Structure 1
Amino acid sequence: MMRTKGGVLEEFSPGYYGICTVGGMLSAGSTHLAVTPLDVLKVNMQVNPIKYNSMASGLTTLWKEQGPSSLWRGWSGKLFGYGVQGGCKFGLYEYFKKLYSDVLGDYNRSFIYFLSSASAQVFADVALCPFEAVKVRVQTQPNFAKGLVDGFPILYRTEGLTGFYRGILPLWGRNLPFSMVMFSTFEHSVDLIYNQVLQKRREDCSRAQQLGVSCLAGYTAGAVGTVISNPADNVVASLYNRNSENVLQAVKNIGFANLFTRSLPVRIAIVGPVVTLQWFFYDTIKLLSGLPSSGGLNRRMEEANLST
């Protein structure tokens, strides 16, 4: 049974983590689904940069050669794969943040944010990896499969279980730095906005103000995290499409400078709004459930920090 306090769901109860998990699943799955056309373009720009050399020409080429439906190829992988990943990422982040703040006490906040997000992301990417493996192939190989339902058995027959996790290391290489930077940037941005801009406690702000803070901090966090994770994102696309057999070969084929620049504009166009909307939907669900909006450590540590 969920613990409640005064009829309101209590923080750090099993129900609290359940709400965070469901909120993360719904927010991540829906937002990633919405930007599927940009994701299709991004992956094709990474795999075939000569043919798809810009956002405008790339979209035009896909539309003309493969039809408008091609822009939604892989939508099921985006919806379900990133939904599962988002549930693990947000739910486990809240759990690990409470766990590590209790264990480490008044240790450096950034370290707790880094450690919590990294721990959550490891499990989230294990859940995402099979969906991502099928999605990338569906988006870049029109004859591979139509979606997850036929894509999973085809990939298993042709490559076995290893095919689903071929990209797990570069996926961690992409998402671990992104998640660590994104969550930490979000947390510090929230503190900065409340303390320096609004100069009000979260509890004294309206729901609209709290959601505004979440959106502003979320966009900042998404933009910073995108730049950090771009090299690994290019490696992931190359490995999944068998353009390279290992990470070192992928780096050599892509080129060191191109790791940082290839598909970066379209990734920023995708990730910034996606992360912003994720935090908006996630915190909306939390507020409607009677929980506080995101940001900050557990209350005991917050009080200790305020007293110092």
Structure 2
Amino acid sequence: MYPVDLLKTRMQILNPSTGGLYTGLTNAVSTIYRIEGWRTLWKGVSSVIVGAGPAHAVYFGTYELVKDMAGGNVDEGHHPLAAATSGAAATIASDALMNPFDVMKQRMQVHGSVHKSLLQCARTLYHTEGFQAFYVSYPTTLCMTVPFTATQFVAYESISKVMNPKMEYDPFTHCIAGGLAGAFAAGLTTPLDVVKTLLQTRGVADSEEVRSARGLFNAAAIIKRQFGWTGFLRGMRPRIISTMPSTAICWTSYEMAKAYFKRHLD
């Protein structure tokens, strides 16, 4: 789903010089194909490849640990609070590891990016903007991912409970519940994702106002001033399109691995 994520980033960028090129999914795809070629759709994927594995290991490891401590594994009952708490804790831990990789990913995704490799992007970012550039969006990321993850986990647990009351291993249930939960959470948190994108790509912005964005509220004020309330919905469609199958695959893979290890360890 990486190419769709790249389209989302480009649709969220506030640069007036390129904003008109990415006004919709079809227009964005045709523009990239015509000007840069298909390979551009995977530009920056190395950052995800390097960071996603460790981040997901931390994510689900923290989730299971906190869920057990919160009493979510005591019986087969419905525990939305335990699910929300464990989901929030999981994302705080994993985002601390993944945030620098996400910053580099978006820097490589933007229109006209000069970064050819992950290492070169990291060096350039550090020398030109300092270490803080890797974490300038971390508070905003948490403001987005904590409610996103809490909403997703509650929705997943709730949908799974309805579709599969016995909570047995069922790939179909895990896939559908994961996809629906991800789509719902993605749509709900899109405004914060737009703010996060502005902060993570501020160094390549045309506008001096955007380049000097300092944090969540300042970035939100810039978006409101330049684009109005609709600016907070930029990239919602590709965000939902990329998140829905991603979370479906993620949850299905996770439940499959969990069921496998349970069988072999028991």
TM-score range, shorter chain: 0.7 to 0.9
Q: Aligned residue for 1:41?
A: 7
Match of 1:100 among 56, 70, 74: 70
Match of 2:255 in 1: 283
Distance 1:262 1:275 in 2: 21
Gapped regions of structure 2 (runs ≥ 5): none
Q: How does 1:1-308 map to 2 (within 5 A)?
A: 35-48=1-14, 49-101=19-71, 109-140=79-110, 142-195=112-165, 201-203=166-168, 210-242=170-202, 243=205, 244=210, 245-246=213-214, 247-255=216-224, 257-291=229-263
1:6 aligned residue: none
Query: Quick one: distance in 1 between partners of 2:111 and 2:68?
Result: 43
Change (3 A) 1:115 1:155: same
Q: Is the 8 A contact 1:118 1:176 kept in 2?
A: yes
Alpha-carbon distance between aligned partners in 1 of 2:263 and 2:153, rounded to the nearest angstrom: 19
Partner Cα separation in structure 2 for residue 166 and residue 186 of structure 1: 30
Structure 1 CA distance, aligned partners of 2:129 and 2:235? 28
- How far apart are residue 216 of structure 1 and its match? 1.2
- Return the offset for 1:103: 11
CA shift, 1:184, in A, is 0.9
User: Which consecutive unaligned segments of at least 5 residues does structure 1 have?
Assistant: 1-34, 196-200, 293-308
- Taking the aligned partners of 1:260 and 1:214, their CA distance within structure 2 comes to 31
Q: Number of residues paired by the alignment?
A: 248
Contact 1:125–1:168 (CA<8 Å) still a contact in 2? Answer: yes
Bigger Rg over Cα: 1
The letter of the residue matching 2:37 is G
State the Cα distance separating 1:104 from its structure 2 match: 10
For structure 1, which segment, 100-109 or 45-54, has the greater mean C-alpha deviation from structure 2 after superposition?
100-109
CA–CA separation in structure 2 for the residues paired with 1:108 and 1:287: 20
Superposition TM-score, scaled by structure 2 size:
0.86
Per-residue deviation at 1:92? 0.7
**How far apart are 1:81 and its partner, in Å?**
2.3
TM-score by length of 1: 0.74
CA-to-aligned-CA distance 1:35-83 (integer Å, 9 cap, x gap): 1111111100000443200000101111111122111101111222232
With over 3 angstroms needed to count, the CA separation of the structure-2 counterparts of 1:112 and 1:213, relative to structure 1, is same
Mapped contact 1:36–1:74 kept (Cα < 8 A) = no
Q: Quickly say closer, same or farther: Cα 1:104–1:217, change in 2 above 3 A.
A: closer
Deviations 1:130-168 (A, max 9, x none): 101111111115443123122111111111210110110
